[in-house]
Amino acid sequence: MDDIKIRDYIINNFKDDDTDTIKRAIEESIEEQDEVTLPGMGVFFEIIWQDSSDEERNKILEKLKSRFHKKKD
């Protein structure tokens, strides 16, 4: 396992899963707020970002910006 990059590990771990399994993994990761799952979520985000158009990326950025503003104390 030392030779396997985390991206490859995560992608290989989910490559045969259906959308329900992937959705459940995402929701459980968010619900548990376990920082161990953050690298996996980062890989998911990286895939989404790379496969998004400029318009989709702008929507993602606006959603993030909006959420960051809501989190202000």
Asked, for residue 1, whether it belongs to a domain, the answer is: no
Query: What is the identity of the amino acid at 58?
Result: N
Count the Cβ atoms, other than its own, within 10 Å of residue 20.
Answer: 8
- The whole-angstrom separation of Cα 19 and Cα 71 is 30
36-62 pLDDT tens trace? 999 999 999 999 999 999 999 999 999
Asked, for residue 57, whether it belongs to a domain, the answer is: yes
Closest by CA position to 13, among listed 25, 29, 30: 25
Tokens of residue 34, six digits: 């376990």
Asked, for residue 30, whether it belongs to a domain, the answer is: yes
Query: What is the identity of the amino acid at 59?
Result: K
Asked, for residue 42, whether it belongs to a domain, the answer is: yes
Ranges assigned E (strand) in the chain: none
Structure confidence at residue 73 (pLDDT): 55
Asked, for residue 16, whether it belongs to a domain, the answer is: yes
Residue 53 belongs to what domain range? 6-70
pLDDT category, 21, cuts 50, 70, 90?
very high
- The whole-angstrom separation of Cα 22 and Cα 44 is 10
Q: How many domains does the chain have?
A: 1
